[in-house]
Amino acid sequence: MFGYAVLMGDIRVTGADGKTFDGVRKVAGISNSIAGGFAGNIYQGLSILEHLTAMTKLPDQQAWKSEFLIENLPTEMRRVFEGTKEKAGGENARVEIMLVGVDPVKNVPQDTPWPLPYCYIFRSPYFSPEKVEIGKVDSIGSGSSIDAYVEELENLSNPRQAGQLMQLEVGNPGGFGQVLSHIIGGVAGRQTATDVSPHLITCVIKRNDMTQYDNNRSQATIANNWEELLQLAGEQGFSSDEAKAFIA
């Protein structure tokens, strides 16, 4: 929408015993004009995003065509998933990946200067790509089962609501993404569900550019990788084996 894509995620960690704490980044840039996020097993989600980041690295001002990514990345996701499954809980392990990006050459509509954004969801164990239509707001993970989130996402996907939000782009490119973070963060802050945090990190992806916003609602220390999360888990009283069962 509006020539860019928006990806956001909270930072809540849930242990096998139901104990929760805030402390892991679930969304991040993985390549030029592409960002990824995960839900489900945190060990596997971080492993998959780390692998995708390494294999899609490009020089500045270059970007992958979405068709190439959708054709090739599911195989890589399955390989990492199978390689980490035993440590993450065996057959009970699951993970979902969401990739958003902006095509390096295509615009939409074709006679406008707006780059073509795209979004796909991949779910274990097969990671078949599920396309999210342009203009629709979708989700993975715990928020997908909370009525208030679902209702708000449906409202934000409504063409009339989208048309009103379009006014936020006038003189303020990326304004829609900033307001989206504020709206979803507000919904999270009003929930009693313990597995979703109101602390959100938002990535706004444009052609050859990405901006990140952190609403910093919990002021928690945030782990950006598995090693940092293990350290936080130890401070919360979890062993490294228990940490591998963490879910997002």
Q: Is a pLDDT exceeding 60 seen at residue 106?
A: yes
Task: Find out whether 7 and 35 touch, Cβ atoms under 8 Å.
Answer: yes
Per-residue pLDDT reduced to its tens digit, 67-84: 999 999 999 999 999 999
Task: Find out whether 219 and 206 touch, Cβ atoms under 8 Å.
Answer: no
List, in order, residues 6 or more apart from 46 with CB less than 8 Å away: 24, 38, 225, 226, 229
Tell me the backbone φ, ψ of residue 166, rounded to 5 degrees.
-60, -30
Please name the residue that has the structure tokens 């050459």.
105
Task: Find out whether 184 and 152 touch, Cβ atoms under 8 Å.
Answer: yes
Task: Find out whether 228 and 186 touch, Cβ atoms under 8 Å.
Answer: no
More confident residue, 198 or 1: 198
Report the SS3 class of residue 102. Answer: strand
Helices (H), 2-115: 42-55, 66-84
Mean pLDDT, range 137-152, rounded to an integer: 69
Of the listed ranges 16-20, 28-32, 128-132, 154-158, the one predicted with least confidence: 154-158
Neighbour tally for 21: CB within 10 Å: 20
pLDDT for res 136: 78
Q: How far apart are CA 237 and CA 239, in angstroms?
A: 7
Q: Is a pLDDT exceeding 70 seen at residue 14?
A: yes
pLDDT for res 34: 95
- Model pTM score: 0.86
Q: Is a pLDDT exceeding 80 seen at residue 174?
A: no
Q: Is a pLDDT exceeding 60 seen at residue 1?
A: no
Residue whose C-alpha is closest to residue 148's, from 181, 191, 183:
191
Task: Find out whether 49 and 40 touch, Cβ atoms under 8 Å.
Answer: no
Q: Is a pLDDT exceeding 90 seen at residue 141?
A: no
Mean pLDDT, range 230-246, rounded to an integer: 93
Report the SS3 class of residue 22. Answer: strand
Share of the chain above pLDDT 90, in %: 48
Q: How far apart are CA 53 and CA 186, in angstroms?
A: 31
> Could you check whether the bond before residue 74 is cis, i.e. omega within 30 degrees of 0?
no
